A = this chain, B = another copy of it.
Amino acid sequence: MSVTIHQVAAEAGVSPSTVSNVLNGRSERMLPQTRERVEEAIARLGYRPNGPARQLRTGRSQALGLVVPSVANPFWGTFARHLEAAALQAGYRVLLCNSERDPARERDYLEELWADGIRGVVLCSSLPSLEHVLPLVERGLTLIAFDRTAQAGDPPSLVNISVDNAVGTELATRHLLQLGHRRLALVSGSLHSVNRRARLRGFEAALEEFGLTAADAVVWSGTADHDPAAHGYGDLDFPDLGRSAARELLATGRPPTAIVAINDMCALGIIAGARDAGLQVGTDLSVVGFDDIVLADLATPPLTTVRQPVPAMADAAFAHLRAGIERAGNGGAPGGSLLLRPELVVRSSTGPAPAP
């Protein structure tokens, strides 16, 4: 079938263990010429080590897991690409899984990845509780929680990586407030998620700074019907969420003049909804997104949004994952949250508040 280490050994006139030593960088234990002969034989035969065999023997895998809500959302696609790039550079591969935000799928995937010998996973889940995957962590899985911050019930060693969501919406909301808007809305969808609640806090904090109260703003969290988490279509419902929200909010007696969206997909939906209602986004209505997906800049009007530093977050996730795997069992990993600072990118979907 495929060429094995034995054939390489025969070709080079050495034993399999010598070949193995070459493969694993233990070349100081042999004559340079021996090493050369082996390397030639490898090249000549086009030998590549058999992954599964290696893994069976060592227990280690060269692959990492990445569980995202859905790669159909460009934000996750972009993150996946950056994580893959970081991993690749260090000789790791990334196995990608779409959870559709379903905890059962999250758990099943982690179980499978574990059974496949994968010992490190980035889980993108902003569920408040991670107890559904706790058993895996106890068995020794290195888990990085992405897009989430530490919670009281977490395993002590858990590393969380996220953008600073509260700072993000605070930046966004302040921007709107500085433009003179006084009737604001936050379109959030269900608030059963750590990061959405943080975004809500940032929104409220900014209002407070400007002396406004909860009564001056509306938080549109939708109904179960609009909640992407509820019916498991992954992230593809955010646009619908935004569109419905815009329809409802704009039909009220005193509609908001500015809307903070929970993410860019949702913001795009809001823009579509505003257009349906005959409003001009950027003048009649201001909209801010969150994420800065590729298409934010291409929207009409180009979307003002809170940029997540995706490359830096991916690098950090990989670095922690790797450290966790390579420490493996030597215990003593200090868990916690890493919150990266977002940046407000002002484009044209926001503008001065229209005269009352």
Chain A residues with a Cβ under 8 A of chain B? 1-2, 48-53, 55-56, 59, 61, 63, 70-74, 76-78, 80-81, 84, 93-98, 111-112, 114-117, 139, 234, 236, 239, 268-269, 271-272, 275, 294-295, 297-302
**A148 to B49 CA separation, bound complex (whole angstroms):** 32
Most buried by B among A78, A84, A268, A295: A295
Contact B112 A93, beta carbon cutoff 8 Å:
yes
Contact: A56 with B59, CB < 8 Å? no
Rounded to whole angstroms, the CA-CA distance of A236 and B97 in the bound complex is 22
Query: Do A93 and B95 have beta carbons less than 8 Å apart?
Result: yes
Provide a sorted-by-A list of 8 A–B residue pairs whose CB atoms are within 8 angstroms.
A1-B59, A48-B114, A56-B56, A73-B77, A84-B97, A96-B96, A268-B295, A271-B300
Q: Is the CB of B117 within 8 A of A50?
A: yes
5 nearest A-B residue pairs (beta carbon): A300-B300, A71-B77, A51-B116, A77-B77, A96-B96
Residues of the B chain whose Cβ atoms lie less than 8 Å from the Cβ of A117 = 50-52
Contact across chains for B300 and A115 when beta carbons are under 8 A apart: no
Chain B residues contacting A2 (CB-CB under 8 Å) are 139
Instruction: Give the shortest distance, in Å, between A228 (CB) and chain B (any CB).
Output: 13
- Of the candidates B77, B114, B239, B272, the one whose C-beta lies within 8 Å of that of A72 is B77
